[in-house]
Structure 1
Amino acid sequence: MPKEAQARIKINQLLEAAGWRFFDTPAGSANIALEPKVKLTQAQVEALGKDFEANGHGFVDFLLLDEQHFPLVVLEAKAENKNPLIGKEQARKYAKSLSCRFVILSNGNLHYFWDLQHGNPHVITSFPAPGDIKGYTKFQPDPARLVSEVVPLDYIARTQIPAYDQEAGWQNASERDAFTEKNRLRFLRTYQQRAAHAVQTAVKAGQTRFLFEMATGTGKTLTAAAVIKLFLRTSNARRVLFLVDRLELEDQANKAFTTLLKNDYKSVIYKESRDDWRKAEIVVTTVQSLLFNAKYKQFSPTDFDLVISDEAHRSIGGNARAVFEYFVGYKLGLTATPKDYLKKFDAAKPSTRDPRESERRLLLDTYRTFGCESGEPTYRYSLLDGVKDGFLINPLVVDARTTVTTQLLSDQGYAAVVIADTPDGEQTSEQVFKQKNFEKQFFSEPTNRLFCETLLKHGLRDPISNEFGKTIVFAVSQNHASKLTQLLNDLADTMYPGLYQSDFAVQVTSLIPDAQQFTINFTNNNLLGSANVLPAYKTSKARICVTVGMMTTGYDCPDLLNLALMRPVFSPSDFVQIKGRGTRKHDFREELQDDTLKTQVTAPDKTAYKLFDFFATCEYFEEKFNYDEVLKLPRPSTGQVQGGDDETGPQPPGGGNSYEHTAPDSITSQVEQQVGFQGMKVDRMFFEKFEDRVLADPIIAQQVNDAQWDQAINYITTELFDKPAEYFNLDKLRRAAGVDRRLGLKEILQKTFGLIPGFKSKDELLEDEFDKFLLDQQNATGFSADSTAAAVQAMKYYFKAYATDHRLRDIIETQRLTDLNVYPAFGMSDFKAVPPVWRTRIPEYVKDYVPLNQFM
């Protein structure tokens, strides 16, 4: 079937599915025409379906009509093998002549919705319904008004109490703090105000996507509230969708927006307001709830004019992207993950042993998603900025290593020596745990007891009640969390007899009923009770939450005093998120109900928190982790245990599958070190630029100037690569370039010295190679200038697939063509679309003239 007909059939189905009608039906009169005021008969629809572009006037446009049969939407249709955007200007001209504000561009597979009064075409995955368009017509965005809106520091407070500054409680300076606290007035900090201004600047520049990179504890939700008000108040959004990736964050965000904006705008949680969510201006939901059974398709793409993704690097990953991209309009991403983790990698050869490859891939995608291909967000406020400005706290690191955890550290993984009895006597064997296996297999009761004893002995105490400070412990697994919780409660029963009844420590993992509520109660100081020691002081009876991953991101509990890593951490972004739980400042008098007692507290402010590190995690990221290389696990402090080369490591004698250390354990070293204003390396990473080093070398400069490429490459390989100062090498340079193909050193030098403007992507290079192929073959038999566009498109698809897919090359070369029936990347229909003469000519040309190693 011609691609024109295929596209027409798909477009017809999409229109009918959205509620548009070709013919009069009981539901209403026809609202689709091919020309103004022209309705179609069934026969005409069927006839046009055969070749909708082959009429006497060139293209046939769909014209979608409103209830009064006035033009509402121009739908510009293209064949499947054409990009629908090529009809953009044609559709604009047609729409303006008909006074249409909206355009849909489609080839049956790819669709764009375009509001001519509001920016550029946006990809959509379904067509909007007539009613949705009618509602959207009332939306009259005015970017100029948004840009000129004044956003003062009291932007939110003016919504909470419009005339707060006229109130007696505010005007009396001695009562102002109490007035502010009583009414929960929130004022923007200067850096939050700058974030809103950054959006205004971006909108003025014509941008529709923004990314805020703000450290944990710097008030991303308050900043988001200011942006939401900015868009709603200036009528540049009718409704806002706020996406989170966990249930507890859903409730947390909705409560925050209700507190901050309820006097002007209504906020609801979608699952609690399925029938009347349209009455709200702010809709909060988890990505997962919209993904389930594709619920997001119950919305129209035009239902939300601003979509905000909290923890953007998580909530737009994988299938979640379908939700995020479904809606048209402005997009804002919030993330606490610094740009320095946006490291490049060789996508064609991802390392199966590097658990950070997926993280790199996702982060790179996050920045591109929000229009920040350069790695520079719309606005940034880092942890170090917060510390220097006095809003955040750096950790007091307690590096406490035990005999076992020290011995476990090796280059190959976390390793241990296992002793087994054999008929020939006692023998030793090595067992190496890679990250995943370690988390599943390792358990040592003496070591875990030592972890817990060390934490309870050296952890910070609550300055009001002198109880053990509120703490989060991060465990390896749910089973590990259960064991740690039991140990902590046993120890608390001994240390504080009668004070706790197995409620000192609580397991907060996904298998625990009401675990989400536990996290909320812990923040609100009523987990398993409150005021356990001092009746006038409300603080959670449960002092420690033991979790695995539930409380790592987006969890706000400012009175935390201790964090304990009782597991290794391999990902820098996970590490940043975990230590970010403790960075917030806090005045402990807030929960003290007795004003007399408040005056007696000598140290009410949280000025420090302790980060207990039992696996040398801080040292690992500070000194041993090379952020440009594939992940290597930490070295041991003393000695070294060698392990196997396979992914799981050697198995212990006797076929066992776990290591259990049962001998006594002891702390071998314990050092406390306050992180200064310069922060950790994970916060301040700085990398020497290869280009600077090369440009400063006169020998390389002369060789490049004389086009002595072999000499220059040999010199760099010998004199610069793998030297202790920088450890430059070609693999690292390829990853740093961020190109989706294999670069050569000559090309890197050409870019460094400005001989080429930049690196071409894999597809751009393939396009060049295909153009060369067409020029080379233009006089060959079977090729002519009047070859159909569909044939050339099929040839190009075949050419690119053959050049980049080694499995396809093997299928073609061995003539196992029946395999194409089940080969997803290039199927039998794709092969048959290629004219027969080119099915062999293209492979021959590729093998002879195209250097395939650049696409590996």
Structure 2
Amino acid sequence: MVDKKSLSERDICTKYITPALEQAGWDIQAQVREEFSFTAGRVIVKGRLHARGKQKRADYLLSYRKNQPLAVIEAKDNKHSLGAGMQQALSYGEDLDVPFVFSSNGDGFLFHDRTGLGPQTETQLSLEEFPSPEELWERYCQWKGIDNTARPVVEQPYYDDGSGRVPRYYQMVAINRTVEAVAKGQDRILLVMATGTGKTFTAFQIIWRLWKARQKKRILFLADRNVLVDQAKNNDFRPFGQAMTKVTNRTVDKSYEVYLSLYQAVTGNEEEKNIYKEFSPDFFDLVVIDECHRGSAAEDSAWRRILEYFSSATHIGLTATPKETKEVSNIDYFGAPVYTYSLKQGIQDGFLAPYKVIRVDLDKDLQGFRPSKGQTDKHGHVIEDRIYNQKDFDRKMVLEQRTQAVAQRITEYLAGSDPYQKTIVFCEDIDHAERMRQALVNLNPERVAENRKYVMRITGDEDEGKAELDNFINPEERYPVIATTSKLMTTGVDAQTCKLIVLDRRINSMTEFKQIIGRGTRINEDYNKHWFTILDFKKATELFADPDFDGEPVQVYRPKEGGSVLPGDEGGEAEPVPEGIGDDFGPYETGEEKGEGTEPETPWSSDDPAGPEAGWDTGGPGEGDPGPKRYVVDDVEVEVLAERVQYLDANGDLITESLKDYTRKRVKQQYASLDDFLKRWDRAGRKQAIIEELADQGVFWDDLIREVGDSLGEEPDPFDVICHIVYDQPPHSRKERAENVRKRDYFTEYGETARQVLDGLLEKYAEAGIEPIEDRKVLTLDPFNRLGSPMELIQAFGGKEGYEQAVRELEEALYHQQA
């Protein structure tokens, strides 16, 4: 008879759980996925390298159809209780949006029913009582209110070409919730998904399922940039084949079923430009609006008129940044989002790139600048006597040496990391972007000599710069490296390899801030893009601390009298918003359909033209005398006053304290005393596992060692870093620890070859730390490969077990005393 207590967790799955599923009628090949990993593992930055944190993995994911997940099962070995895995399983159930959660140790199942339809929330089941697929599906449909009419639509599978590209877990949740909402008759739907999380692919799968089920027969997909329409048509939407067309300003062909269009291609200020009116109002039964935070959020927008014309159709809006201000509202039009996948969640799951913030404070930004009495600027204009501060710089007051100081810091950062990493510098306007371009060109003469396009101004007013936009975002093109811009690159630019975002523009719009940050969040494994840096000169990153940055969108707009009101929204005061947050900033967004970031062919009329007369009005106050729109001062020194680095912690929040203080707090949460830490360290089969565990929880080893390096001496061991900064123990370097082992005649009990191997491992430890000596692959490297093959070296210890025992004893000798 098998002793269950001696079986591994995998044995419990194979011998008890899987047979119970088969007996209940589950198709193991089609409906059951074992060891289902559904996240990528958070990116952990290690200097210039990176590692991945642990993936979330459900032991079993059960689906009625392949696109209809219903349940998760968390398995434990039989030394655990029946419900030991329940809390973990419930967490996975929430992520995967499944209502049925099971935990098992092989004796039976603990069943947690999140629908509330059962007699009680948790029930113990025997192995023979596991519910069938049909039973769970019936209960699911009852819970969701999916009737017999809606079921064929909900059960329609997603598109799968067999290439292995299937929706990620959060995309599946977004697709399923949207399809279910449409099947049940909801006609205004909003999806909020962070930049870089695959909104277009998600939209395609939604459309595909509704189209194949014939729930929706003629579909219009609207985007606000030509490149987005073409990318959709040529990539994600390609399976529609001959049923799909792109709408242009020419006469439309009404024989297609799927239409892709630029907003600007189907609307205009003049009646004859409104090509969409060649379609009857009831022609489309589904309209999908990409980047719906833009014109479609405003009641009086020209874009909104398209949606009102096709008002009988179902409208699905997709955005990374829902616009909720006192004037415009996505929620007022679409309703509350059916699903939100945030930047923070994307980073924690490992699908989006984490970032660090370098906040640079310039002396004049903090202290202000006041001209002396009668002081003139470089053009001879008497400067108005008042204090000019950060709000004024590069708008009403140009300090040329400030531009130089910013460009110098950007250049220093690139020189110290990778001078060819793609960089976007966001400036106040076109004139500022041009001055920044000139400063960067002069500070990087060697790079510019290699290629004049090393630095380019990419703004809406200048064709040559705009022509380089595609090269900038193309990972295979090295040039341009640095792009200076104002508004053109804030949205819709798929800059997969952008590693540095420079903020030298005041940003008071949360929508705009999210869009700018989104330029760096994409991961590109092929080009080693896993994280990015934000270099902030104008305190824009203070918006990270605002709850609105990564929280659920909250409606603050209220419709005008006589306008529509959402259910449950009748009456009441508008919820206040922090001053400046969410409101449009300056002149930039007062006419969105004409702005940069909408369609690059049209420049922003509010940006100043670059040229010798940039920044000057033709008439000033009184008597027709000319007066400056902005003063230009070239003889005021500007210096970096302070600089601070902030990192994302394990919860996705920016650390606001020193790394030393943060590490002390994080470690003590897990190991309250030095004794606790030492016991864990001693018991660990692999010391590196503890280092990786702490890194996964937000300890930034490389940056931490740099920050406290002076007090720790040369090449400290992570063990000593923790003992010193957390528990105030005197530190040792790795070389000191290695030498202490040698002094104790540690090797005497071993033969000659074994002693040489152990001495080599000590050298590797002194050079690179504990990680290499815990990996047997080190035996393939110099100097070990000169002593013999890995097998021969292991045999010098009597075999694998003897070698591993010797390594453990070597580690004990290294750490046998903590001080």
| TM-score when normalising by structure 1 | 0.46
| TM-score when normalising by structure 2 | 0.48
